[in-house]
Chain A
Amino acid sequence: MRAALVAFHLVAITLSGLPSPEGGLNRATWAEPTVQVEFAAWAKRFGMEQRAFEDALWEFANTYNRGYKQLLTPVKPYEDLIGSEQSWKMFIAPHRFPTKLEIAGRGAGGEWGVLFLESSPTATWRADLLRLERLRSSIFRWGWPNYSSAWSKGCGGIAALAFADFPELDEVRCRFWKARTPSPEQARSGDLPVGQWTSPRLVRRGKPGVPLVVERPTPTGAAPSTAPVGAAAADVEPTP
Chain B
Amino acid sequence: MSLWRRWVAFLDRREAATSLALARIVLGATIASHLAYMAWVGGDLLVWADAAYGGLRTLEPGWLAHVGGLTPENVRGLLLVTTFAAVAFTLGVSTRVAAFVTWVGFRTLADLNSHAGGAYDELAKNILLLLLVSGCGRALSFDAWWAARKARAGGAPFDPLVPAWPRYVLIFQLVLMYWATGMQKVSSGWVPGGSADALWYILQQPTWQRREMTWLAPLFPLTQLATLGTWFFEQGAPLLLLAFWFRHTRTRPGRLRAVFNRLDVRSLYLLVGLGMHAGIEATMDVGAFSWATMAIYVACFHPDEWTRLGKRLGFSGGAPRAGWTPRAVTPPAPASGRLPSAP
CB of B176 within 8 A of CB of A92, answer no
Inside 8 A of B107's CB, which chain A residues have their CB? 83
Flag whether B27 is at the interface (Cβ < 8 A).
no
Cβ-defined contact, B217 with A82, below 8 A: no
Interface size class of B (residues with CB under 8 A): 35 or more
Q: In the assembled complex, which residues on chain B have CB atoms less than 8 Å from the CB atom of A87?
A: 119, 122
Measured between beta carbons, the chain B residues less than 8 angstroms from A88 are 119, 122, 176-177, 180-181, 184
Contacts of A160 in B (CB 8 A): 54
A89–B184 touching, CB < 8 Å? yes
Residues of B contacting A: mostly: helix
**With A90-B181, A139-B207, A184-B217 known to touch, is A150 a contact of B115 (CB < 8 Å)?**
yes
Give the residues from 157 to 175 in chain A that come closer than 8 angstroms, CB to CB, to chain B.
Answer: 157-158, 160-161
**A138 CB contacts on chain B under 8 angstroms:** 47, 56, 113, 115-116
Whether B209 is near chain A, meaning CB under 8 Å from some CB there, is yes
Contact partner of B57 (CB less than 8 A), chosen from A18, A139, A154, is A154
Mark contacts of B28-51 with chain A using CB atoms, 8 A cut-off: 1 yes-contact digit, 0 otherwise.
Answer: 000000000110011100110001
* B206 and A119 contact, CB distance less than 8 A: yes
Measured CB to CB, the nearest residue on chain B to A7 is B7
Q: Flag if A133 contacts B118 (CB, 8 Å).
A: yes
The answer to whether the Cβ of B232 comes within 8 Å of any Cβ in the partner chain is no
Max chain A Cβ within 10 angstroms of own Cβ: one of B52, B173, B288: B173
Measured between C-beta atoms, what is the minimum distance from B240 to chain A in Å? 15
Verify A181–B116 contact, CB threshold 8 A.
no
CB distance A86 to B122 under 8 Å? yes
Distance from A65 Cβ to chain B, minimum over Cβ atoms (Å)? 14
Docked-complex contact B190 and A93, CB < 8 angstroms: yes
Question: Which residue of chain A has the shortest Cβ distance to B186 in the bound complex?
Answer: A92
Chain A, 85-120, contact with B by CB distance < 8 Å: what is the 0/1 string? 111111111111011100000000000000000110
Contacts of A141 in B (CB 8 A): 115
Q: Which one of B93-101, B196-204, B255-263 is at the interface? A: B196-204
Chain A contacts of B41 at CB under 8 A?
128-129, 132
- Does B313 have its Cβ within 8 Å of any Cβ on chain A? no
Closest to B44 in A: A134
Chain A, residues 126-147, CB within 8 Å of chain B (1/0): the string is 0011011111111111000001
Nearest A-chain residue to B8, judged by Cβ: A3
How many residues of chain A have a CB within 8 Å of chain B? 65
Chain A binding surface SS class: helix
Q: Would you list which residues of chain B between 202 and 228 have a CB under 8 Å from chain A?
A: 202, 204-209, 212, 214, 216-218, 220
A236 at the interface (CB under 8 A from B): no
A41 interface hit (Cβ, 8 Å)? yes
B287 CB to nearest A CB, Å: 4
**Nearest CB of A to B215, in Å:** 8
A32 at the interface (CB under 8 A from B): no
Q: How far is the CB of A99 from chain B (nearest CB, A)?
A: 8
A10 an interface residue at 8 Å Cβ cutoff? yes
In the complex, residue of chain A having the shortest beta-carbon distance to the beta carbon of B165: A6
Residues from chain A with Cβ under 8 Å of B173 in the complex: 13
Set B119, B187, B202, B285: member contacting A136, Cβ < 8 A? B285
A residues less than 8 Å from B188 (CB atoms): 38, 41-42, 45
Q: How far is the CA of A38 from the CA of B165 in the complex (A)?
A: 42
Inter-subunit contact B200/A184 (CB<8 Å)? yes
Check: B125 CB closer than 8 A to any chain A CB: yes
B309 in the interface (beta carbon within 8 A): no
Question: CA of A149 to CA of B67 in the docked complex: distance in angstroms?
Answer: 28
A14-B176 CB under 8 A given contacts A84-B126, A133-B286, A136-B207: yes
> Does B183 touch A at the CB level, under 8 Å?
yes
Considering only CB atoms, which chain A residue lies closest to B195 in the complex?
Answer: A41
Are A82 and B129 in contact, CB atoms less than 8 angstroms apart?
Answer: yes
Smallest CB-CB separation from B51: which chain A residue? Answer: A153
Judging by beta carbons under 8 Å apart, are B122 and A135 in contact? no
A-chain residues with CB within 8 Å of residue B122 when the two chains form the complex: 84-88
Q: Are B11 and A2 in contact (CB under 8 A)?
A: yes
Q: When chains A and B are docked, how far (Å) is the Cα of A136 from the Cα of B119?
A: 14
Residues of A within 8 A of B202 (CB): 91, 94-95
Q: A119-B209, A136-B208 are in contact. Are A188 and B286 (CB under 8 A)?
A: no
Chain B residues whose C-beta falls within 8 Å of the C-beta of A33 in the assembled complex = none
Q: How far is the CA of A80 from the CA of B116 in the complex (A)?
A: 20
- Residues on A with C-beta less than 8 A from B55 are 157
The answer to whether B198 touches A94, judged by C-beta atoms less than 8 angstroms apart, is yes
Q: Can you list 28 A-B pairs with a CB-CB distance of less than 8 A?
A: A3-B8, A13-B176, A38-B188, A45-B188, A88-B122, A89-B119, A89-B181, A91-B202, A92-B190, A93-B198, A94-B200, A98-B207, A129-B41, A133-B285, A133-B288, A134-B38, A134-B116, A135-B43, A137-B117, A140-B208, A150-B56, A150-B57, A153-B56, A157-B46, A157-B51, A157-B54, A157-B55, A184-B197
Closest 8 CB pairs of A and B: A94-B201, A93-B187, A133-B287, A41-B188, A184-B220, A187-B217, A88-B180, A88-B181
User: Known contacts A83-B125, A84-B122, A92-B190; can you find 19 more A-B pairs with CB under 8 A?
Assistant: A13-B173, A17-B180, A88-B122, A94-B199, A94-B205, A95-B202, A96-B201, A98-B205, A98-B207, A119-B209, A119-B212, A135-B116, A137-B117, A138-B113, A157-B54, A181-B205, A188-B217, A188-B218, A211-B52
